[in-house]
């Protein structure tokens, strides 16, 4: 085998390895985590989640959250929902919201997001506990 052929084979192998690794990456590599589980019950409660790339443990900035729902499914009251609105956040990978929680108890925050460079939609559920 000539040096040229060996070099070509090595580059092809490297390219195949890189494409195989990226093919294995997916939405399951990301996780939404609460910054604080216990939150204030009532109007104007502040909720915040961090989106983390699990293999590296690093926060993921620039995600587009396009569908969110806040309900009391953890307390078997999924039909009870709460209004919420996005707020700015100074921290990279942190997504903040103001919510009008109408009752103390468990609240599930369901999130769908598009992550830069990821073809699949990332979905997550974060549970908060509203306390008086």
The CATH T-level fold of domain 26-131 is: Immunoglobulin-like (2.60.40)
Contact 66, 113 (CB under 8 A): yes
pTM, two decimals, is 0.79
The pLDDT tens digits for 15-57 are: 444 443 444 569 999 999 999 999 999 999 999 999 999 999 9
Q: Return the higher-pLDDT residue of 35 and 11.
A: 35
> Can you give the pLDDT at residue 20?
39
**Which token pair is 105?**
């108890």
> Can you give the pLDDT at residue 12?
53
Class of residue 111 by CB neighbours under 10 A (exposed 0-12, middle 13-18, buried 19+): buried
Q: Tell me the domain boundaries of the chain.
A: 26-131
pLDDT exceeds cutoff 50 at 118: yes
């Amino acid at each position: 085998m000539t040096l040229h052929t060996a070099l070509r084979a090595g580059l092809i192998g490297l390219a195949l390895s890189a494409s195989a690794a990226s093919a294995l990456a997916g939405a399951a590599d990301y996780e939404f985590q609460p910054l604080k589980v216990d939150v204030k019950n009532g109007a104007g409660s502040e909720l915040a989640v961090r989106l983390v790339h699990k293999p590296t443990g690093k926060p993921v900035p620039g995600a587009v959250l396009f569908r969110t729902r806040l309900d009391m499914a953890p307390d078997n009251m999924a039909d009870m929902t709460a209004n919420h609105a996005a707020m700015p956040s100074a921290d990279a990978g942190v997504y903040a919201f103001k919510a009008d929680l109408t009752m103390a108890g468990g609240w599930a925050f369901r999130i769908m997001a598009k992550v830069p460079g990821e073809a699949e939609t990332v979905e997550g559920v974060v549970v908060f506990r509203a306390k008086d």
